[in-house]
Structure 1
Amino acid sequence: MSAELSEQTHPTPHVSRWWLLRDVTLVLALFAVGGALCGVLWEWWWTAPSGSVADGTWFPDLEGVRGVFSGTALYVVVGAVGGLVLGAACGWLFDRVELVTLVAVAVGATLAGWLMLWVGTALAPPDPQLAAASAPDGTRLPGTLAVSGDSPFAAFPLGATAGLAAVFIGLAPNRRSRG
């Protein structure tokens, strides 16, 4: 009787290892593609800061100073929203074993944040300091896309876990009744 009661209060269907492996692979692939697309969006939305060369060093002008900080701010916004959407989608689509999905989303979101940075900076103009070393004074050069500090890299994973939690906790009664 107690085993029967336990099954009624905590229904956990038997899930094969192949289904779990499939789900984890799909979550990681979804985050990899999402991170790359977020990198494209990040670079597209960003405006390169303007600046000029003096004594072999690039300096942002007054308007360009804002652009230096906007790269980090946009990384956080795009990463958090992208993570939120992807985390919620994974929570809805891959709910066989929640703990496995949580770990896959955490790893996938970290991967997505790294891919977003890699793709976004690869599409951006090169580092102006390299060109400034050999450029004459007064040469105008665009700045490059970068992220300042380490804390912005938490945006994608935090957004993803928030989206996952919203589905797992907020929609839990509805999700259990679907199966």
Structure 2
Amino acid sequence: MSPELTTHPAPAHHASPWWGLRDVVIVLLVFAAVGSLAGVVWELWWTPPTGVVVDHAWVPDDAGLRELFTGTGQYVVVALVAGLLAGAACAWFVDRVALLTLVTVVLGSALGAWLMLQVGLLLAPPDPAVAARTAADGTTLPGALEVSGAGALASLPAGALTGLVVVFIGLTPAQPEPGRGSTPTR
């Protein structure tokens, strides 16, 4: 009597042609939510620089000069942490096809970075240069939230890819090579 190899049916998620689209939508929604929430956190953490109106122009005061660049630094910190957590979560829970997950995380993290910037700027005080044009000299105005340099905007995608790599390479159990410790299904 010869042993017969049995075949097992494909898992249900591979039976549907929509599983890949579903995973793409999940990753994009995760990054949209994380980016939006990160924008709120960024704006709440930030302290606006202070300045006064002089000849219809906004001029930062001494304390305001020290605060001018904190928005960029805080954006980087919040974006890195948000990206790391979202990238790791997507790699852990949405990993049916690693290449699809990678591409979707890259696209989703770019969306998340853009949303983080837009939400943060929307919640922050308006540009003081515009208000200073019609304000009286000596009027105190808060400064605007801004990010200096395009490199800072890459923080959320960099964090996301780091989280993805950590899960894919560091936390995924190693698969045994055929013939080494694995037994064929009969």
TM-score (norm 1): 0.88
What is the CA–CA distance in structure 2 between the aligned matches of 1:67 and 1:87, rounded to whole Å? 31
The 5-angstrom pairing of residues 36-47 of structure 1 reads 36-47=36-47
The 5-angstrom pairing of residues 25-40 of structure 1 reads 25-40=25-40
Q: CA deviation at 1:63?
A: 0.7
The 5-angstrom pairing of residues 1-179 of structure 1 reads 15=14, 16-173=16-173
What is the CA–CA distance in structure 2 between the aligned matches of 1:62 and 1:100, rounded to whole Å? 50
Task: Give structure 1 regions of 4+ aligned residues with deviation exceeding 4 angstroms.
Answer: none
More helix by share: 1
Q: CA deviation at 1:171?
A: 1.2
Q: CA deviation at 1:84?
A: 0.1
Task: Give, as a single letter, the amino acid of the residue that structure 2 aligns with 1:160.
Answer: A
What is the CA–CA distance in structure 1 between the aligned matches of 2:94 and 2:115, rounded to whole Å? 22
Q: CA deviation at 1:129?
A: 0.3
Instruction: Say which is worse superposed, 62-71 or 73-82, in terms of deviation.
Output: 62-71
Task: Give, as a single letter, the amino acid of the residue that structure 2 aligns with 1:69.
Answer: F
Question: What is the CA deviation profile of residues 111-138 of structure 1, one whole-angstrom value per residue up to 9, with x for unaligned ones?
Answer: 0000000000000001000010111111
Aligned twin of 1:7:
none
Aligned twin of 1:8:
none
Task: Give, as a single letter, the amino acid of the residue that structure 1 aligns with 2:83.
Answer: G
5+ residue gaps in structure 1? 1-12
TM-score (norm 2): 0.85
What is the CA–CA distance in structure 2 between the aligned matches of 1:17 and 1:82, rounded to whole Å? 31
5+ residue gaps in structure 2? 1-10, 177-186
For the aligned residues, what is the CA RMSD?
1.7
> Identity over the aligned pairs, expressed in percent?
57
Aligned twin of 1:6:
none
Q: Secondary structure at the match of 2:67?
A: helix
What is the CA–CA distance in structure 2 between the aligned matches of 1:95 and 1:19, rounded to whole Å? 11
Q: Secondary structure at the match of 1:51?
A: strand
Task: Give, as a single letter, the amino acid of the residue that structure 2 aligns with 1:145.
Answer: L
Task: Give, as a single letter, the amino acid of the residue that structure 2 aligns with 1:36.
Answer: S
Q: CA deviation at 1:67?
A: 1.7
Question: What is the CA deviation profile of residues 7-42 of structure 1, one whole-angstrom value per residue up to 9, with x for unaligned ones?
Answer: xxxxxx883531111001000000001100000000
Structure of higher CA gyration radius = 2
Q: Secondary structure at the match of 2:83?
A: helix
Q: Secondary structure at the match of 1:136?
A: coil
